[in-house]
A and B are shown apart, each in its own frame.
Chain A
Amino acid sequence: MIHFTSVSKFYDTDIVLKDISLTINKGELAFVTGPSGVGKTTLLKLIYCAERPDEGEIVVAGWDLKKIKQSAIPFLRRNVGIVFQDFRLLANKTVSENVALALRIHDMHPHEIKEHVSEVLKEVKLKHKESTYPYHLSGGEQQRVVIARAMVSKPAVLLADEPTGNLDTETSETIMNLFKEINARGTTVLIATHNDALFHGTGRRVIYLKEAQIEREVVG
């Protein structure tokens, strides 16, 4: 589903990622970890085309990101759900409106949008808060809305950048369980985190980054 071949990324003269080659298979749930500033976020950004590689090739869900045109990027991103550490929820929209936005972009019929949003909010256990604005929600609830927004359009790949960065252990566990459920339905999930507890004992692949390179791959 995700293929990196000898990918390098520079910011001016600084090397952020160097000669990265990795494959995330369809339906896999994997983790990318390492200390802050090691390039975890850049690696995810390369997958959803917020950054372009300086060297090497990337293929995501059949899209060759080296050749992809600017006008095609939105259509790639519709196949890639993204969960951010800082949530990126729209403050002037309610929970259901925030989630519905992802489907409006897909030009879905309003009746279908309503059904899908209602369904996904039940899954993340936030149906009762559908008319609430994000600033009235706790950090954990906001992150669940972000996950609902990312999964409502049923993307092939789900990326999560430090999804539990601002959350307590119990909430982090809830969030992690949601990722497992999403993955169980066939979605490929890649989580970037520096929180060891998140992948310990999961039995999933963990990719360690060190000094802009893949140091090792282990099973968590």
Chain B
Amino acid sequence: MRILIYAAATALKSLWHEKWINLLAVLSISIGLLIISAFLTISQNLDSVLKRWSKDFGLIVYLNEGLNRETEDILRDFFQHDSDLASVKYISKDQALQDLRKIMGKQSLALEVFENNPLPASFELTLKRELLNPVLVERKAAEIRHLTGVEDVQYGEKWLSSLSTLANTMKVSAIFLGSAIFIAIAFITYSTIKIFFYRRKDEIETLKLLGATRTFIRLPFLLEGLLIGLLASIVSSLGLFGIYSLIMNKISEFLPSINIIMTPLPIKTYFPAILAGTFMSFIGSIIAVGKIRY
């Protein structure tokens, strides 16, 4: 415990004594972490958009003209027992026409030209969220299309495909970019601690001759690396909070639609970057100190 206190005091002293090099390291790491955090935030917002959109996402199953009640009931029963579907809503021909009139308003007079109701009866099916994947949705639509009494199945193929591709691209990019930045963070701390280690080489030699253990010698450097990572993580989190708040509060004044895409960031959003930044810095300092031989 006493060794830990001594190491912490030595690390804090060195942090202050070598403030400019440390500041450079902290800022470099925080920029890297800010980029990762920005990616995570965009992913989260995209996810949130997808989630909200998924509530309304459905398949519209148009039924054949003149379909008898019995077949409609068979189809309803079939959909209600399908575990992939979250909800099933039947829209009769009359209901469909009524809805269209509502939408068209005054222009609904144009519909009077039709002798008979031209709109088909339909089922509006809402898919479960985990099925919101272009391939699965397409498969489901094809399955339904082959059912007796079904004329056609429609859904937002293009939207779903684009959003899904964007979300996947973001995830893959985040993995590659994140890995590269994490390696860079470890390298920045490695270089910083290595400089300090070389600068204090004589001191380390003296400590070794006085009988200091490896832990006694290494601990201040490891703690310093950890503190650099922690400070950088805090700076990047504050940066993210600042930038995000600016976008939410200022930009939304003249671009209100931004609030549809962006949701307030929960505090847990900051934790991965703080933990990862601190951990990678610690790894960097472990490599920098290396093995101590007597």
Contact = CB atoms under 8 A, between A and B. Distances in A.
Contact of A90 (B3, B6, B206): B206
A105 B294 contact: no
Contacts of B209: 48, 50, 77, 82, 88
Interface stretch (A14-22, A31-39, A68-76, A166-174): A68-76
Contact of A70 (B2, B211, B294): B294
23 contacts: A49-B294, A71-B213, A71-B214, A74-B212, A74-B214, A74-B294, A75-B211, A76-B211, A77-B209, A77-B210, A77-B211, A78-B210, A78-B211, A88-B205, A88-B206, A102-B211, A104-B2, A105-B207, A105-B213, A105-B216, A107-B2, A109-B2, A110-B2
Contacts of B211: 74-78, 102, 105-106, 153
A149 interface: yes
B3 A101 contact: no
B203 interface: yes
B15 to A, nearest CB: 14
A90 B210 contact: no
Given A49-B294, A71-B213, A107-B3, 15 more contacts: A48-B209, A70-B294, A74-B208, A74-B213, A74-B294, A77-B208, A77-B210, A77-B211, A78-B210, A88-B205, A102-B210, A104-B6, A105-B210, A105-B213, A149-B210
A76 B210 CA distance: 10
Interface of A is mostly: helix
Contacts of B208: 74, 77
A153 B213 CA distance: 16
Nearest to B6: A104
A16 B2 CA distance: 42
A84 to B, nearest CB: 8
A47 to B, nearest CB: 12
Nearest to B212: A105
Contacts of B213: 71, 74, 105
B293 interface: yes
Contacts of A73: 294
Interface string B176-215: 0000000000000000000000000011011111111110
B233 to A, nearest CB: 29
A107 B1 CA distance: 9
